[in-house]
Amino acid sequence: MSASDIASRGYAKPEILVSTEWLADNLKNPNIRIVESNEDPLLYPSGHIPGAVEVDWTTDLNDQVRRDYLGREGFEKLAARIGITPDTTVIFYGDKNNWWATYAFWVFQLFGHTNAKVLDGGRLKWEKEGRELTREVPTYPATTYSAPERNDKRIRAFRDEVLRHVEARLPLVDVRSPAEYTGEKLHMDGYPNEGALRGGHIPGAQSVPWARAINPENGTFLAADALRAIYEGEKGLKPSDDVIAYCRIGERSSHTWFVLSYLLGYQKVRNYDGSWTEWGNLVGVPIEKP
């Protein structure tokens, strides 16, 4: 699939995606930096796209003491270490059909690094096409990066804002599995319970599992018409809506945030990264079960 294929899918911002073909032709482009961000920490050292650096969601993007993201100084150090400036186009990709790639993309947006794109199909598609992988870890000259303070207002939601959404009956999208949504399970299949005491979903939230937005055979995003059929045809959302998406810790919902914001052009979508590990433990907040 080429760049022209991406452009033909009807996305609001098709330029936010790059194809595997384009990336293969631009591996030595000095104006880009390829970032791999995975759930599985063993994948990058076992082989990655040539020139790609690793950004680990736990150690690189999160504060190591508080449950929060790194601050401005931490982001500047990360950017300097991977050798980028605000003018560098950062291409994100990873496992799990780009779960963590979109998560890293979202965190970079908190610091205003808008010169960023996502590899359509992620690691899965690159591997399926038999493209080159290497174990060589690249090094780049350190840069000086001046970032603004982290902006938590535009694309991030906190629990009090979510509660106001519930009270005002504004759109909430639960992107977890159906069993998590109903409260049958407190976690995804194959994953440990991360501490939620109660099962269910935030009142009024609609269930739209994140993976419905991708083609399972190669991890690429569905065309815009198919996405609209899901989010608008089935669930009644509108591009003008004030939408909050959530999951377990904000990783799957960052994928849905990306789909709604960039592929469908929704103007106000926020990711509630506290998600169910916070809401399922909060004293005094409502939940729903079937």
- Where in the sequence numbering do the catalytic residues fall? 247
| Own/partner pairs, 229-233, CB within 8 angstroms, 24+ separation | 231/173, 231/260, 231/264
- ∠ CA 135-136-140, nearest 5°, is 140
d(CA 63, CA 61): 7
Backbone angles phi, psi at 279, to 5 degrees: -60, -35
- Asked whether the beta carbons of 20 and 121 are under 8 A apart, the reply is yes
Q: Which of helix, strand or coil describes residue 262?
A: helix
d(CA 290, CA 281): 19
- Radius of gyration for the chain, computed over Cα atoms and rounded to the nearest angstrom: 18
